[in-house]
Copies of this chain bind each other. A is one copy, B any other.
């Protein structure tokens, strides 16, 4: 009755999220002149278990050779194809503060499949300022970018309080994939995909574990105690 996930070209989300890591590891292996890997070796390089790696790759097809392993170049090509990186995706970065400028200068974008075609800022006094190879443009240019340059992905690098407004403009212009660096939740239509990157969140998760670790010393003495509340 319900649409079978695997049947409709469906790779599980968790697998998709790991494919870039495999691609990174494969690229690194290729640079070192290695042309063939076992699932064990590639898994170690990507920081996952070999069973997980094999299961992930099985969703793409059968590109390994039993008893031998995977050909590095071939597998890298297949993963690139699965991720849609055989074409270059035009990206626009919105918000030219510290973070936005750092992202604009980041060479990792161009490395694999992405092309920063525009830098935008809501503040018209910044418009025209050169940042790297590009000049800052105004938000109003968004529609033209989507129409003429097939802009597909927007990166929000603004403060939290203008992020929703920027998201609305991106969506209005036809962008349906957003990478959000602002520390807030974006409200977008259900057909728009948002991924969030937030360093405070990551640090807070680290803090949780760090705190647990240092607090452990006091607890080992009296095990089983549950009702200890600090107040």
Which A residues are closer than 8 A to B by beta carbons? Answer: 7, 9, 11, 16-17, 19-21, 23-25, 28, 45-47, 61, 81-85, 87, 89, 91, 98-99, 101-103, 105-106, 108-109, 111-114, 152-153, 155, 176-179, 183-185, 193, 195, 197-213, 219, 224, 226, 229-230
Contacts and interface: CB of A to CB of B under 8 A. Distances in A.
Contacts of A204: 19-20, 23, 83, 85, 112-113
23 contacts: A7-B224, A7-B226, A20-B200, A24-B184, A28-B184, A81-B230, A82-B208, A83-B204, A85-B204, A87-B211, A91-B203, A108-B200, A113-B203, A113-B204, A114-B207, A155-B199, A176-B210, A177-B207, A179-B199, A193-B209, A195-B202, A197-B199, A197-B202
- SS class, residues of chain A in contact with chain B: helix
B20 A201 contact: yes
Contacts of A185: 21, 25, 45-47
**This chain: copies in complex:** 2
Q: Closest 6 CB pairs between A and B?
A: A84-B211, A102-B102, A47-B185, A20-B201, A20-B204, A177-B206
